[in-house]
Structure 1
Amino acid sequence: MNLATKSRLSLMMFLEFFVWGSWYVTMGTFLGSNLMAKDQDISLAFSTQSFGAIIAPFIVGLIADRYFHAQRILGVIHLIGAGLMYMMYSSTDFDGFFPFLLAYMILFMPTLALVNSISFNQMKNPAKEFSVIRVWGTVGWIAAGLLISFFAWDSQEGLKEGLLRHTWLMAALVSLVLGVFSFTLPHTPPQAKTGGKIKISEILGLDALALLKHKNFAIFFISSILICIPLAFYYQNVSPFLTEIGVENSTGKIALGQVSEVLFLLALPIFFTRFGIKKTLIVAMLAWAIRYVFFAFGNADEGVWMLLIGILLHGVCYDFFFVSGQIYTDSHAGTKFKSSAQGLITLATYGIGMLIGFWVAGLVSNNFLNAAGNHDWKSIWLIPSGISVLVLLFFITLFKKEKINSPQ
């Protein structure tokens, strides 16, 4: 892969995750402060991601694997998405906001599989090359978070003035840029055959389900669903948590998690070579359990260091499980259904797992809400920590050591 192609793919990842990071981290705080949404409303809003992820493998399996170039689909989706986010920016209540969010997430979630598919299509050794490209997505997420704190949209004064709504306008503008840029990306034609009789399983992208016949992949698939339950607690609660306990510039501090993500992305190929896929995934799940313990016992004063460590562990949690999982999935998929396979793992993680997770997180958060409107955060965070430990034990017991394509 030449330098020009690497640069285009890196910019694609930067813009993709800048768009997502522009609003996703602060949405819970935005809904509570700007639209006066309750815990149940916030849980429902985050669940739109899961609805989109569940539909994603079917959309990608139909159009990206069979009929249209992936980069063109990516462009069209982001152009439409820019308009939807502008409508969310203009919304004044949750009822008016929610339909646009739902439509947007149904469109956006397939793009996570599409950017992976476009990248993998240009690579000879994904285990070695993908991390260097994917790291720019993390840089984009960091840039979005730092800009939000730089403009003080998430400060106590900014929240009082309703400035957090500007995150949607920023995301809309960058989505527009990405939509246009996508048409210049390397051609990623459909890989599946379009001639002959069309099978329903092929139309829906269900052929990728054959991967589940491999026992290790099935265990990984189930573990991916289960570990997303504690992940949902982080995405849904971390911004409201830090804001409620009085941590200033919380969005900028949350972006430290993506800084660590950059470092661990670069370390991932080395870790792969020395320890293999099983140990990499074990370290990730152990990190999930530890980070929530730090959140449970940290505070905004003398215990702020515990909160920062918990945030910095995000690099291990996310990279060592989700990015390595994408590479592991690609190694099992073969050439024909790369897009469907990436869509399938998106279904497992951001779809089924996160849908369950957001529902559980909403119930738990509401259960530990007192009459004064404050949460018992210690009790809330210990629950996903315990779930992480259970998933870790399940994975260690059933997943057998396996070697995949690793960097030379």
Structure 2
Amino acid sequence: MADGLPPDLLAALDLVAFERQPDGHFRAAAPLPDWLRGHLPPDAEGCVTPAASSDFLAHFLAIAADTWDGPPGGRLMSGPFTEPGADGVERTLEATAIRAASGAWLLLGLPLMRYTTTQRLLQAARDEALDVERTRRRHAEREILLHTIVHDLSNPLAGLRGSLRLLRADALPEDDRELLEIAHRQADRMRDLIHDVLRAFRREVDAMMPATAAPADAAETLRQTAQLLGPRAQTAGVPLAVDAPEALPAVADARRLERALMNLAENAIRHSPEGGTVRLAAAVDGREVRLTVEDEGPGVPEDAREALFQRFASLGEQRGQIGLGLYTVRLAVESWGGTVGYEDREGGGARFWVRLKRPRERLA
């Protein structure tokens, strides 16, 4: 018994184990707790004589003799009993006689203490269940609000997209037609972002990031991102520089990769000083494709980096709050088996990077 159950486990269960000695004494397997010392004072060698201190135990030990003298596996329980101890304090105890392969054992415990502990655990479980229910209700209320916001944003956006489609039918100069195409793609992107916000809050990441049959061309996606953001960067006085090979296949969804890069590049433009350059680059790095977006702004404070890709991360006074942008970037990249991160740019500024897997046939 002593070899099978650690003393600290018995103590946690409010149990004390005594090994029956040939002379009729009982030696404790561990130091006695205070409540039992008062009831059954031990002798100098740490042994107790229950029959001399308790009338009930004297009767129980006589009955338990058959169990202890029998084959291993025998057990006899007394049930709860209440009596004053040697210190005059009345306690409710429970005794169990066990015949184990290692010898004869007597277990003494406080059933009321175990009952109280059980009640406390049950109450804690009830409180936790109530907390879960309150949290569920709050989430349901937030989802209803979110659906309402999405609905209110979707209606005017649908009208805007319809107007842009009508303009496509007009004979426009080439420069105006290019701006119209950019506006149309940005409207489509806004529609997708609204849906992504809803999906992100509902944690439907798999539905939000479906797998694609063909890999994305990360280099071409990077160039398209720069083209889409060209007018905005020009207005902000922030030149865009692109460094990418002709083609660079990566495991990703091309459309969602473009939106992820748009998020990173828009942040870079927003936080760059006028005249600063935003650099977008793509390159092979071993078995991965590495995409980077750099700016010459203030960078990200050290204490804000741990939560950088969480919802509504705050980046301090210099960069403000970033909403869901980097959060959705992380969800997308991780759904493809990639990683996303941040590091300081040499010479000042921020560098956000995305690592994507290369298609297997390209690794040879």
Instruction: Give the helix-richer structure, 1 or 2.
Output: 1
Higher share in strand: 2
Where relative contact order (Cα < 8 A, 6+ residues apart) is larger, the structure is 1
Q: Give the TM-score normalised by the residue count of structure 1.
A: 0.21
